[in-house]
Structure 1
Amino acid sequence: MTILSRRNDGGGNSHRSSTKRQRLPSVSTDDSSSGQEEENEKTLVVLSDDSDSDEDMTLQSSKRRIISSPKSVTLPNSNVLFDCPNCFDPLKKPIFQCNNGHLACFLCCIKLKKRCSFCKLPIGDVRCRAMEKVIKAGLVSCSNSMYGCKESTTYGNKLLSHEKVCVFAPCSCPVKDCNYIGSYKDLNSHFRGAHKQSPGEIMSLVLKRSIIFGLDLDDSDNNIVIFQEEKEGDVFVVQGFTASHGVYVTVSHIAPMVPGVRRFSCSVAKLKQYSTLRLGLRVKNIQKSREQEEQPEDDFMLIPSFMLSSDHLKMQISIGIEDAYVHI
């Protein structure tokens, strides 16, 4: 859809052509001069039946000689959706309309047996090329644009395939009472700045180096330990979940599970005076630490009750790149 502005210089109808045009009223914020401005300037919405044809290009070229000051138009409501009113999926070409102007996508025309669901008039034979042009021109930003993603696509595509692998997917800070949400890279930077001086909450971690820590299973605020890797700043969370037959321990990397994000594995051990329980497992990427009511279903270490001598769980962990510890 091309929005053009024309000065009324008394030329009359000398510039008429076969292109469809709809005249829209001009809007002025100054009441004293609105009459003069409305007389001197009009806005035209130019819609052609066939896109990108040679005839259209010639016509547009000739119009530039008589039409000046092109203007863009934006919708007052950025949440306007151009969806099929029948199936509510994004409209895609071809789009059809009945004689009353009700729209339907191609698949819905078939399902409705070419009868409009609103007024029962025939639908499926008349294309709504104006709406097709609007859809073609409309761009949709990735839903993670607020976190730094610059990707966009036409409205009908909805960026579904991109958003499944978007590296800017939002991640939540695992520190209690911290409401920060951002991309995982920004989260790592946030950690270095906001939580660097949090004694007892954050532990520094060097890859492939063992570190001993404790989980207080009797205190819901202390049954979580947070690590930050020294060089790249990746954030890891170890959580303990008490069950009737033992304790579930999970190790998670706060990051989206998408290509381009580093993957890790770990060795986790329950230390006891005369015995040690050790397990190697892949570190799962999650965007938010688990709630304490959520019992993990996979990627966990189960410590049986007979190995628990107290509510303070002494453990050892070592984290490495990729599958370094998976087959321990």
Structure 2
Amino acid sequence: MSTSPRRDDGRRASDRGSSKKQRLPHVSGNESSDDSSSAEEDDVGSQNGSTESCERVLLVLSDDSDSDEEIRLTDILRSRRPQRLSPPKSMTLPNSDVLDCPCCFEPLKRPVFQCNNGHLACYSCCTKLKKKCSLCAMPIGDTRCRPIEKVIKTCLVACSNAKYGCKQSTRYDKVANHEKLCVFAPCSCPVRNCNYVGSYKNLNNHFRATHKRIPGEIMSFVFNSPKLFGLDHNDDQVIFQEEKEGDLVVVKGFKRSDGVYVTVRRIAPIVKEIPKLSCSIARLKAHSTLRLGFQVENVQKVGEQQVQPEDNFMLIPSHMSGCCHCMKMQICIGNEDDYTRI
């Protein structure tokens, strides 16, 4: 009677000890290696899963979009790259001709395709060539050239007006838009037989230093102050230069069957930094006067008038032009909206 409970207590104690040992088992070397190997397999599986998901996202996303998903995916891929020993360097191309399409010689735009021999062509050329390379006649138009597309998107190109003073570098795919609005766009001297080409400010300085005032051909004017001059019927021009700012304004007259057309143009690039001018121009006769106001168009070069202008001109009817070649005219040049008051 007395021995059995003791055996039970011993068994119970041993059971308790064994239960405690089961709760805190001893980890051997083999067991730890098995656990680590399984953890590594889980990590590899998760990495493969994430890689496959990234690849699936890459297939879904458009290459020409800048969506948030594409940006996040780019950040993920960059985070997996090994760290550089030195920071990345920016590069600027002094001449963008190397990135022009070899078929149409226009700047390359995404998407860019390549044939099996590596020759490039833009999308429009692939369509015109019916997907046949113009250099080797291999099929082209199905394989994208991703490295060149990346260069186009990130490469900086110097402005073509750098020789005229522009120091700005722009992305290759944006340089055409910049050059249309560049304040350093080249302007040609309006004097006949003068081949000078320069920026807007340099042209004004060149004209002031090189060409002397000639009555009836080269005259000075002041803003908002009327100026008398004579204009010939037959493709004649009079050049005015503002005394203070140096702006060049060219008045041209050319005869047509219905009368004499008179245009007023300022030699300047079409940019916001250079506001437009306006003018009030009049044909003066003894007993009648014809007056008209309009905005002065900015042009980079004054060429020979070949066609009838569509706007910003004055038409002097034949009965007011007179028989003599030189017409007595008056002009007043002011700010953009001042032609209604001058």
**What TM-score does the superposition give when structure 1 sets the normalisation length?**
0.66
- In 2, distance between residues paired with 1:211 and 1:81? 51
Contact map agreement 1:211 1:317 (CA 8 A) in 2: yes
Q: Distance in 1 between matches of 2:335 and 2:92?
A: 48
Matched to 2:281, the amino acid is V
Kindly tell me: are residues 201 and 151 of structure 1, through their superposed partners in 2, closer, same or farther at Cα, counting changes over 3 Å? same
- Give the whole-Å Cα distance in 2 for the aligned partners of 1:260 and 1:303: 33
> 225, 247, 257: which is aligned to 1:244?
257
Residue 151 (structure 1) aligned with residue 191 (structure 2): no
Aligned to 2:159: 142
- Whole-angstrom distance in 1 between the partners of 2:287 and 2:140: 83
Deviations 1:20-74 (A, max 9, x none): xxxxxxxxxxxxxxxxxxxxxxxxxxxxxx998355452x31xx7xxxxxx9999
Structure 2 equivalent of residue 119 of structure 1: 138
CA distance in 1, matches of 2:289, 2:79: 78
User: What are the superposed Cα offsets for residues 269-294 of structure 1, whole Å, 9 maximum, x if unpaired?
Assistant: 11111111111111111111231444
- Check the 8 A contact 2:216/2:230 in 1, yes or no: no
Match in the other structure for 1:310: 324
CA separation of 1:200/1:135 partners in 2, compared to 1, >3 Å: closer, same or farther? same
Greater fraction of residues in helix: 2
Q: Does the 8 Å CA contact 1:241/1:295 hold for their aligned counterparts?
A: no
Q: Distance in 2 between matches of 1:209 and 1:304?
A: 26
Matches within 5 A, 1:232-311: 232-307=245-320, 308-311=322-325
Task: Determine if contact 2:126/2:140 at 8 Å carries over to the other structure.
Answer: no
**Cα deviation, residue 201, structure 1:** 2.9
Please tell me the residue identity of whatever aligns with 2:339: Y
Aligned residues of 2:213 and 2:219 also touching (Cα < 8 A)? no
Q: Offset of 1:141 from its aligned partner?
A: 2.0
Letter aligned with residue 162 of structure 1: H
Structure 1 unaligned regions, length at least 5: 1-49, 65-70
**1:242 deviation in Å?**
0.9
Higher gyration radius (CA): 2
> Which of the pair is proportionally richer in strand?
1
Does structure 2 retain, via aligned residues, the 8 Å contact 1:234–1:253?
Answer: yes
Change in CA separation of 1:272 and 1:78 when aligned onto 2, cut-off 3 Å: closer
**Equivalences for 1:189-204 in 2 at 5 Å?**
189-198=205-214, 200-204=216-220
RMSD: 3.7
Q: 1:245 to 1:131 in 2, by over 3 A?
A: closer
| Number of residue pairs matched by the alignment | 263
* Pairing 1:185–2:201 present: yes
Q: In structure 1, how many angstroms separate the alpha carbons of the residues matched to 2:223 and 2:309?
A: 25
Does the 8 Å CA contact 1:96/1:128 hold for their aligned counterparts? Answer: yes
Residues 282 and 326 in structure 1, CA contact (< 8 A), matched pair in contact too: no
Structure 2: where are the runs of 5+ without partners?
A: 1-73
The percent identity for this pair of structures is 58
What CA deviation, in whole Å up to 9, does each residue of 1:108-156 have, x standing for no partner?
899999x7754348943xx65544554456432222222212222233x
Once residues 270 and 110 of structure 2 are traced to their aligned partners in structure 1, the CA distance between those partners, rounded to angstroms, is 33
Q: Does 1:320 align with 2:334?
A: yes
Alignment check: 8 A CA contact 2:95 2:158 kept = no
Q: Does the 8 Å contact 2:265/2:299 carry over to 1?
A: yes
SS at match of 1:253: strand
Distance in 1 between residues matched to 2:141 and 2:333, nearest whole Å? 65
